[in-house]
Chain A
Amino acid sequence: MPEKSREYAVNAVLALGLLLVPLWALWAGEPFTITLATRIAILALAGVGLNIALGLGGMVSFGHAAYFGIGAYVAGILAQHAFLNTPVLGLPGSNQMLTIWPVAMLISGVMATAIGALSLRTSGIFFIMITLAFAQMVFYFAISWPAYGGEDGLPIYVRNQFPGLNTMRPWDLFLVAFGVLMVGLAFSALLRGSRFGAALMAIRQNPERAAAVGINPYGVQLTAFAISGMITGLAGALMADLTRFTSPSMMAWPMSGELIVIIILGGTGRLFGPVAGAAILVGFEVTFGGMTEHWKLWLGLVLLGAVLFARGGLIGLIAGKERHG
């Protein structure tokens, strides 16, 4: 199908562009551009996570900042304990990304399972509101926890390490983020093509029919919600390392909104939608953020345009509607 191959082409352009622009910046000596590309990759990864719940499963979570923030706090807390050489819950801290990531994914996954288990008993607007409420509870918990910075957040003095790379160098950190994003996208691609993905997409479109052919909507949706939270949590851990700071604002509700905006701008449910969406968002921030502090007004107008005239987001605009053979 020509539309299918056009989508592959868009995806390839996005992936190559995200790799080549910072490579050029490395050559031209523009470390700030590399950092921007890293930011895009990490936000895209958070979007890949949310896209599994929202895009494939139709679960409009307005609380994914919670998992993003939990991932960030895991990175910050483990790094602090490693730095101070003190134990956390009887275990040593860690400054190794390969240790921090599984812990971040595990804890965000557990939280997503707990929150999802309760939230999925509702649907529609109630689901949106209950996920928001849970995320705000996590946020208020974080700002009232003085041991880890409270409202001031938690600095990471030395970036956590990845074997064989110097993560303090922008290009090295970019490679880490880009690599993880690609793995996340590959997983997302496999998931949507699998039986589980078929069941999840079917439930979004017609839960009653899915149940009538023997699929348990609640179980499938809860599993997808947990996976979704884990990936967004992993992105949060990376973001803490990029900014070298774990801030409570990473789990505040505007972050949840930003993740939804990324999905909508890029193309809801599309594999590379979050990559396109994150690039648009960061692009706007850089282009208009320098001119006016009200740059979000312009972002809002673009979002309005996307919702009114381009429901499929950027990917949908270029590659047309998605088809499931």
Chain B
Amino acid sequence: MVEPVLTLSHLKKSFGALKATDDVSLTLIPGEIHALIGPNGAGKSTLIGQIAGKIAPDSGTITFRGRDVTQLSTAQRARLGLGRSFQISSLIPEFSARRNVMLALQSRQGHPFRFLKPVQRDRGLIAGAQAILTRVGMEGRASVPSAELSHGERRLLEIAMALALEPACFLLDEPMAGMGTEGVGKLVSFLQDLKAQAPILLVEHDMDAVFALADRITVLVYGQIIASGSVEEIRHDPRVREAYLGDPA
């Protein structure tokens, strides 16, 4: 049995009477893409928020790299190696693409309390950022302010920033959202390679992409896991078809 990188056990989170996360347990093991799917309002974002450290669960624990991180802040989890992308691109708008990646690199290389050394002359940092941008195919757009990038480029920059953390696990929140067919195709093959570097917990709406990529799929409905298994199992699970695909079998 391989030791999971990330383990959620019995997570619960309510907002008033609404059970957004209702006793959710799941694992992410090295080398896999674990897809988390579910209809709108299923509680995927709340769950991601709890894993990333933005929302505190009411009960249950999150174990990351063998350590209970339930009480840690977002920044502490990121420094432990949790690399995330946001559902709606969340970048530093005035910074160029390169500086966005440099920001992610600098915090991995050490704490940010270096007051006097100019970043713009830090060759190692610049070269590191350029290499990561090249990996996602954005080397030609390095000096463009991120606010001026196209939607697809911003999605890629999100992933580049996660890559820069050299994370032990990727948390990708709808990376394909709003991308064209061609963009989705490229991203699918990119993620296929990426999972060798670190396992991916993938929240995604594009079912074709999910079925092409996922090693395991967990289906969330009204905050509860209704099914979890391989692509084939999920495809043929009658509860999933009914609840999620809206198709009474």
A306 within 8 A of B: no
* CA distance in complex: A202, B93 (Å): 9
* CA distance in complex: A223, B114 (Å): 12
Q: Indicate with 1 or 0, residue by residue over A197-213, a CB within 8 angstroms of chain B CB atoms.
A: 11101100110111111
Taking CB atoms, residues of chain B closer than 8 Å to A197 are: 115, 119
Q: Indicate with 1 or 0, residue by residue over B83-122, a CB within 8 angstroms of chain A CB atoms.
A: 0101000111111101100111011100011111111100
A196 within 8 A of B: yes
* CA distance in complex: A145, B119 (Å): 47
* CA distance in complex: A163, B196 (Å): 66
A19 within 8 A of B: no
A216 within 8 A of B: yes
* Residue of A191, A211, A322 with most partner-chain B CB within 10 A: A211
For chain B, residues 35 to 75, give those with C-beta under 8 angstroms from any C-beta of chain A. 52-54, 73-75
Taking CB atoms, residues of chain B closer than 8 Å to A121 are: none
Taking CB atoms, residues of chain A closer than 8 Å to B99 are: 198, 324-325
Are B118 and A194 within 8 A (Cβ)? yes
6 shortest interchain CB distances as A-B pairs: A214-B107, A214-B78, A211-B74, A199-B112, A213-B104, A214-B79
The answer to whether A206 and B91 touch (CB under 8 A), given A191-B115, A199-B107, is yes
B165 within 8 A of A: yes
Query: From DSSP, what is the main secondary structure of chain B's interface residues?
Result: mixed
Are B94 and A201 within 8 A (Cβ)? yes
Across the interface, A205 reaches (CB within 8 A) one of B94, B107, B108, B114, namely B94
The answer to whether A223 and B113 touch (CB under 8 A), given A202-B92, A211-B73, A217-B75, is yes
Q: Indicate with 1 or 0, residue by residue over B214-234, a CB within 8 angstroms of chain A CB atoms.
A: 000000000000000000000
Report which A residues bind B (CB closer than 8 A).
Answer: 190-191, 193-199, 201-202, 205-206, 208-217, 220, 223, 322-325
Across the interface, B114 reaches (CB within 8 A) one of A196, A202, A209, A215, namely A196
Are A194 and B75 within 8 A (Cβ)? no
Residue of B nearest to A223 (CB): B113
Taking CB atoms, residues of chain B closer than 8 Å to A191 are: 115-116
* CA distance in complex: A210, B117 (Å): 20
- CB-defined A-B contacts under 8 Å, sample of 22: A195-B106, A195-B113, A199-B107, A202-B103, A205-B92, A205-B94, A206-B92, A206-B93, A208-B74, A208-B90, A209-B86, A212-B74, A212-B78, A212-B86, A212-B90, A212-B161, A214-B78, A215-B107, A215-B112, A216-B75, A217-B75, A323-B94
The answer to whether A194 and B52 touch (CB under 8 A), given A212-B90, A324-B99, is no
Q: Indicate with 1 or 0, residue by residue over B133-153, a CB within 8 angstroms of chain A CB atoms.
A: 000000000010100000000
B94 to chain A, nearest CB (A): 6
Taking CB atoms, residues of chain A closer than 8 Å to B86 are: 208-209, 212
Given contacts A211-B53, A214-B104, could you give 15 more A-B pairs where the C-beta distance is less than 8 Å?
A: A190-B115, A191-B115, A195-B117, A197-B119, A198-B99, A198-B119, A199-B103, A209-B161, A213-B78, A213-B103, A213-B104, A213-B161, A214-B78, A216-B73, A325-B143
Taking CB atoms, residues of chain B closer than 8 Å to A323 are: 94, 145
* CA distance in complex: A94, B215 (Å): 73
Across the interface, B165 reaches (CB within 8 A) one of A201, A208, A209, A213, namely A213
Taking CB atoms, residues of chain A closer than 8 Å to B115 are: 190-191, 194, 196-197
* CA distance in complex: A197, B119 (Å): 9
A129 to chain B, nearest CB (A): 26
Residue of B nearest to A208 (CB): B90
Are B119 and A195 within 8 A (Cβ)? yes
The answer to whether A211 and B75 touch (CB under 8 A), given A190-B115, A196-B113, A201-B94, is yes
Taking CB atoms, residues of chain A closer than 8 Å to B113 are: 195-196, 220, 223
